Structure 1
């Protein structure tokens, strides 16, 4: 196996997972991350069994389980009378069926576990990416300060505003979905009398613009609350601002008392817009490829954004390892393995009816990135 020099643009969940998987296979990896350091920002990452199984293969299982919270069930409830329309066993049942549980973990804890596992010197903070160039024998990652990093492979894991995607395929214009999301973290003790706090619960509204999702976080000590409302317009994609909690509560004034109690317990909320992109027909060119949100950003209604980045990372590492030094062919195999699955999940997330009335979750949760066939489209629902 030829040892490859790999430069990763972006040090988030997908970028670090890819680096770990590639380092485990003997490759030389460096990550270039624009942020000066990781702080305890953001709130949650919902890792469904497919993602936990993938991270377990990197030896991260104990660290994830030490701080993550297990959801006992995945429950759908109706907005007005609170009746359940579906209840899917998770936790031990998911571990038995899929090989891993569902875990909700603070984003900072997940990033910390990934960073701790990297080889020393892998992460370069304060290193924003400006572009990429490539030739027949290699690629060059160009940093904002003018530094040129020579590599055999460049991976664009730089998120929804991906510089690498723009360099490969030109600028694109995402469409505002008409939905604004609201996020808050609430101490569990503030929700006395609310049921199903140990489960992932979705309250389905009378129209697609209103829904509330909750699940346990930080060993179950906190509860994450996610809601959406309709809005006519919004500014920049990914723009997050403090939200008006009274505005949010007013939007849900006709919901079931338990649902209203969730919002009543929220102190501060953050608000951001949800944008839509169509699935991309191509992710790679020669020795440069994309993964995660850079390739397939999606609305969060199937809780698969981070999970798809983690799956991408494992499959990409496997494809490069199996490619016998033929990088373009390996990237084609990676892309062919992933494109149909991620497109199906992008579209399913946008449809926003996942498990509302029950159904078979196996095609999502039962996917194993370590053993899925390379070069063959993954089956979808």
Structure 2
């Protein structure tokens, strides 16, 4: 493929930044258009399982992430009422030996900072909110922005999230579905949890129904503990998907959980509450001159901790599929063929929420190597 190919990426989130870096790694230049005017330290956590960490290692950011991340020693499942441990999967060194990378848990902003540091100067344009996208006879994508500027690219990559403007231009307008599940998030200094067990582990407390759970894992080299709790709610009336929550409501909703889980919740002072939205798996992510990745095409429930990881995998595989191909459409077809079924399977598994509840084999998720998986190119 010509080195003069123009590639535009909408969205400078984890998937978009990963895509640009991966494209650079295979010798292709790209430019990112991001609607916000500046990055902010937003979000609380990111749980990167070995498949995601191995992909990030190939992007050259793994060493930087290890400086601030925690490395959970085990992935533990426990029952909400009895505290019974139903599965324990060794992570950290054991995962590194088996899968080639550990699990890393960290603040989302630390991952973003590491990725941004790998973006070449001039490749990232901020304050570029898309107003209109047009595809011209399968040859170019034309983008108009709300600031009055415009551009055209040979290949457009939609990494612009669940409200994707690129997706809308490709396939028409639709709306994500509220799952009937809300999530509470909180970060607790570990020093407030003296006496609690397994503070160096990823622990999931399984509730009385698939929508109710509490997940806990360390951040910041173990100095903080992140809490993520979900439960059913009939409707979501807030204008924002994320709002300040009530620690009293959080504790009341899980008042019947095991005392060890309640002890963690008792230390939560500030809480965020958000609605969880999904879309059904798409039959296609491409149209010949444009492709989607990450939440733009496969937004997931968080129950397998694969949302960010699948976006990173998409980015790596897409770059590999564009490396050396004779034309864009064949590369995009190879990308879709390599990624569609895996992401759909993880979407379905995340929604059913039975992943590793009572043990099982994690290899099909954690053992995936985006840099080495067959891609079936016809060059």
TM-score w.r.t. length of structure 2: 0.96
Q: What corresponds to 1:263 in structure 2?
A: 265
Aligned-partner SS, 1:56: helix
C-alpha distance in 2, partners of 1:222/1:116?
25
- Maintained 8 Å contact 1:237/1:275: no
- Maintained 8 Å contact 2:162/2:176: no
C-alpha distance in 2, partners of 1:230/1:336?
35
Q: What corresponds to 1:99 in structure 2?
A: 100
Structure 1 residue 148 corresponds to structure 2 residue 150:
yes
Structure 1 residue 64 corresponds to structure 2 residue 71:
no
Q: Is the deviation greater in 9-18 or in 230-239? A: 230-239
Aligned-partner SS, 1:165: helix
Q: What corresponds to 1:190 in structure 2?
A: 192
Q: Is the deviation greater in 208-217 or in 354-363? A: 208-217
Distance of aligned partners of 1:5 and 1:295 in 2 relative to their CA distance in 1, 3 Å threshold? same
CA deviation string 1:240-273 (max 9, x = no partner) = 0001111110011111111001111111111111
CA deviation string 1:4-48 (max 9, x = no partner) = 211100000000000001112222211111111111111111110
C-alpha distance in 2, partners of 1:22/1:208?
39
Q: What corresponds to 1:211 in structure 2?
A: 213
Q: What corresponds to 1:288 in structure 2?
A: 290
1:220 to partner: Cα distance? 1.1
Q: What corresponds to 2:21 in structure 1?
A: 20
Q: Is the deviation greater in 1-10 or in 220-229? A: 1-10
> Displaced runs of 4+ in structure 1, greater than 3 A?
235-238
- Maintained 8 Å contact 1:238/1:274: no
1:158 to 157, 160, 165: 160
Q: What corresponds to 1:279 in structure 2?
A: 281
Structure 1 residue 2 corresponds to structure 2 residue 8:
no
Which blocks of at least 5 consecutive residues in structure 2 are unaligned?
none
- Maintained 8 Å contact 1:210/1:230: yes
- Maintained 8 Å contact 1:141/1:154: no
- Maintained 8 Å contact 2:210/2:352: no
C-alpha distance in 1, partners of 2:94/2:132?
45
1:310 to 305, 309, 312: 312
1:147 to partner: Cα distance? 1.9
Q: What corresponds to 1:81 in structure 2?
A: 82
1:236 to partner: Cα distance? 6.8
CA deviation string 1:90-119 (max 9, x = no partner) = 000000000000001211110000001111
CA deviation string 1:269-306 (max 9, x = no partner) = 11111123110000011111100000100110000000
For the aligned residue pairs, the C-alpha RMSD in angstroms reads 1.3
TM-score w.r.t. length of structure 1: 0.96
1:127 to partner: Cα distance? 1.1
- Maintained 8 Å contact 1:140/1:148: yes
C-alpha distance in 2, partners of 1:303/1:96?
21
Structure 1 residue 52 corresponds to structure 2 residue 53:
yes
C-alpha distance in 2, partners of 1:58/1:97?
20
1:148 to partner: Cα distance? 1.7
- Maintained 8 Å contact 1:38/1:108: no
1:208 to partner: Cα distance? 2.1
Q: What corresponds to 1:37 in structure 2?
A: 38
CA deviation string 1:305-354 (max 9, x = no partner) = 00000000000000011322x10111111011100000000000000010
Aligned-partner SS, 2:9: strand
Q: What corresponds to 1:234 in structure 2?
A: 236
